[in-house]
Structure 1
């Protein structure tokens, strides 16, 4: 039992029509399962109350509504406010440790790695936000889903405007707050990268008294983030690859499998472990995870084992073999999101793979007036990755196509469907293919098309995608 009707009514200042008990919470009627509480949110384009019959047909135990309905419900003045209130109530009754994660890149990957690392010691007692539920609706939903006996909760928080993280972190109230990295992202809404750092640093404003701030040491914005944390944190811990970081990689060696062997120094202690995910950006993520595990009092040795066994996440590094002319090719699925920093990081991963290198790259969005320069700036990392053919998707990729003209083979297409057709004609056995772009470009459709007969490496490792 997650919530009773009485608890929901008390948390949301609502009135219950009947006694019921919910075992889950959802605001998307398509995701409602037996025993769930359905929150009928009202938005600009749709009204969740329209889907009450569907939700109850799928087994909903009750609903939060703002209009009359014959179904078991708690009626409130406004359902979005009620969802926030329910999230706050879940946080208030949770007696364990709460960890908040943000950053321009790596926050979902770090959140999943942190969950795996902590769950290794506390199986079934660690809760985290699913998917990328990190905004004004996803965060309170993730909190509302947290079981009452949770020992550790891990919550991802995102933003694309100043002030958004300040609001979210005061709901989450973390004991430990992590900033993974600062990079150009959503630059259409910020004057410069320092302003992005300031907005990410808002996560520290919600820290519980005596809480721990975890900051990237190698970032040019390190001191800015440390200053942002100072009024709120009892302790600030840095992580990175350079000397001076509190949690530092003293060795990071790529293995033939593509994994990395890492020796990390945490104060006077050292931990050596294999990191299954390739790339130096993942080494940085792992250091942030270890810093958080230590701050939470977790078992570092078991965390190292969990990092060795992690599979790739769909859209964020999942690897699978797909059919190509003459055999199979390796596909690296980074289709969920992209900005200049993450593009460079994943192209560096592609560079380490054997075989011919192909890159299917979708345009990067929300980069503002600097967008043409950011796109053209990918030419050098593409060449450094020994990409033989670049399939570029979207109008904003035109400056990159021009920068690469005459240097490698370039195919600039309008949409993902066209890119998939071109890739199938082009690919052959032994190729390594990177698929990466902003989510709105729809490159996940390319991945879905290739995975039809593919064998996901993450699946083989028991990871749900």
Structure 2
């Protein structure tokens, strides 16, 4: 039987709510009625398009132990198990506060322009050899996801790794004061979401809010020594009395990257810490994975834990769907290799994805194909940042498809032999992409979440299930 996460008495006390119906115990919290598990608490959040209260009955029928609500929904039995609060989101935050207050876990908070989720997953793997670990699921890192992740913190966890994200000033400040981390890491400061900010320094300021939640004079701050905003972030951390541990290629880094041999099946990495060398291997593909692993080991070093054990534990952490996962697709004798980067895109992450594409060798007569959607939220620099990718795209791909107006501008400057086609939306170009693919191709799909690149990924996966698909002769052209 799954251990109880919260009792109804504890939740009533945490939220100052009112119990409706019988007492209950829960094993999890969910905000999506389609993801209800037996014994969970369904958090009926109101939204712009849908109201969770409309799905309480469905959630209870699917096995939810109770629901967190601000009103009793119509059509429920009189004894339906409910926790009534004035505001559901505020109630979720109250549960998160209670979870943090009762926990003796060492809490690590992760933020950065890129690499947050991979770093979080690797940290969870590294810490697992030292004790029980709770980590944010997926990228639950905003004003809903972060308190949800914290509310799920088991009472006996020894470590917690929580991802904190933002796209406006002040957002991380609220989240870190909720999480109250013992250690906070900023993976990097890049131009992601720069359309919402004055400049890069303001992004650094927003990321540095993460230090506001550290206990005064007793926190740990892990920073990228190679980043242009290292000193800015370090000043913010030092203002809280935090001890700084740095990582990177710089000779001044506490955990220094000496070398990395990156290939299509992973990376061999050498770091130097306290005058000693550590050699390890990871299965994550690309220099960005190698570099992020050094940041992970810097966190382990800051906590005074065994780096050898941690380096072995992170070996098999790899990219997830939408974030660089590589999938072999059955197609003829040589198949296809899909690099699924469809979840999001920024100048730094597109550059990293193109580097992975360039190092991945196609089979037979296959080609490297890049399908690139717009990078959103870049503001007035959007046009420049898209055009700035041109040289990298030309050096990495044999054929390029573009989606969206900004990538169209870049695509119009490609040499004709590299231009595969363009669509205003992903749906417009799916059939053209599929008709062009050939055996042995390596296919990168990359774009911001708002560009909805998933239909292209889904269509490529469906090739394996199609009996009609045959390799086009174009795949074997000169």
Question: Which category of TM-score, normalised to the shorter sequence, fits these structures?
Answer: over 0.9
Q: Does structure 1 residue 322 correspond to structure 2 residue 347?
A: no
Give per-residue Cα distances to partners, 1:198-220, cap 9 Å, x unaligned.
11111111112311101111111
The residue aligned with 1:207 is: 214
Which is further off, 88-97 or 408-417? 408-417
Q: Does 1:5 align with 2:8?
A: yes
Alignment check: 8 A CA contact 2:399 2:417 kept: no
How far does residue 453 in structure 1 lie from its aligned partner after superposition?
Answer: 6.0
Q: Which has the larger radius of gyration?
A: 2
Q: Which of 225, 231, 248 is residue 240 of structure 1 equivalent to?
A: 248
Which of 52, 73, 89 is residue 48 of structure 1 equivalent to? Answer: 52
Alignment of structure 1 residues 38-77 onto 2, 5 Å: 38-68=42-72, 70=78, 71-77=80-86
User: How far does residue 235 in structure 1 lie from its aligned partner after superposition?
Assistant: 0.5
Instruction: State the TM-score, normalizing by the size of structure 2.
Output: 0.91
Q: Is residue 360–residue 434 contact of structure 1 (8 Å, CA) maintained in 2?
A: yes
CA shift digits 1:157-193 (9 cap, x unpaired): 0000000000000001000101011111111111111
CA contact (8 A) 1:350 1:432 kept: yes
Q: How does 1:195-344 map to 2 (within 5 A)?
A: 195-209=202-216, 210-255=218-263, 257-324=264-331, 327-344=334-351
Q: Is the CA contact 1:360–1:419 (under 8 Å) kept in the aligned structure 2?
A: no
Return the alpha-carbon distance in structure 1 between the equivalents of residues 101 and 240 of structure 2: 19
Instruction: Provide the C-alpha distance between the structure 1 equivalents of 2:276 and 2:94, rounded to a whole number of angstroms.
Output: 42
- Structure 2 residue matching 1:308: 3-state secondary structure: coil
Aligned residues: 451
2: CA distance, partners of 1:140 / 1:76: 16
TM-score, normalised with respect to structure 1 = 0.93
Q: Output one character per residue of 1:68-97: Cα deviation in whole Å (capped at 9) or x when no partner.
A: 353111111111100000001101111010
Structure 2 match to 1:372 = 383
Deviation at 1:298, TM superposition (A): 3.3
Instruction: Report Cα offsets for 1:124-150 as digits up to 9, x if no partner.
Output: x10111111100000000011111101
Kept in 1: contact 2:328–2:337 (CA 8 A): yes
Which shifted more, 166-175 or 41-50? 41-50
Distance 1:380 1:242 in 2: 27
In the other structure, the counterpart of 1:26 is 30
Task: Give the match's secondary structure for 1:150.
Answer: coil
Aligned equivalent of 1:14: 17
The DSSP-based 3-state class of the residue aligned with 2:422 is strand
Q: Report the 3-state secondary structure (helix = DSSP H, G, I; strand = E; otherwise coil) of the residue aligned with 1:417.
A: helix
Return 5+ residue gaps in structure 1 as ranges: 456-465
C-alpha separation in 2, matches of 1:297 and 1:422: 54
**Cα distance, 1:54 vs structure 2:** 0.5
Task: Show structure 2 runs of 5+ residues with no match.
Answer: 466-478
Alpha carbons of 1:265 and 1:75: their partners in 2 closer, same or farther (altered >3 Å)?
Answer: same
The match for 1:175 is: 182
Superposition deviation, residue 296 in structure 1: 2.9
Render the CA deviation track for 1:212-269: whole Å, top value 9, x for unaligned.
10111111111111011111243001111222111111121134x5311101112233
Inter-CA distance 324–423: structure 2 relative to 1 (3 Å threshold):
farther
Task: Tell me, yes or no, if the aligned pair for 2:38 and 2:62 is still in contact at 8 Å.
Answer: yes
Matched, 1:82 2:91: yes
Cα separation, 1, equivalents of 2:81 and 2:305: 41
Q: What displacement does 1:448 show?
A: 2.4
Separation in 1, partners of 2:117, 2:233: 20
Cα deviation, 1:332-362, whole Å, max 9, x if unaligned, reads 1111110011111111111111132110111
Q: Distance in 2 between matches of 1:444 and 1:343?
A: 16
User: Matches of 1:67 and 1:118 in 2, distance apart?
Assistant: 41
State how far apart, in whole Å, the 1-side matches of 2:46 and 2:198 are.
Answer: 33
Q: Given the alignment of the two structures, is residue 165 of structure 1 paired with residue 172 of structure 2, yes or no?
A: yes
Say which SS state the counterpart of residue 403 (structure 1) adopts. coil
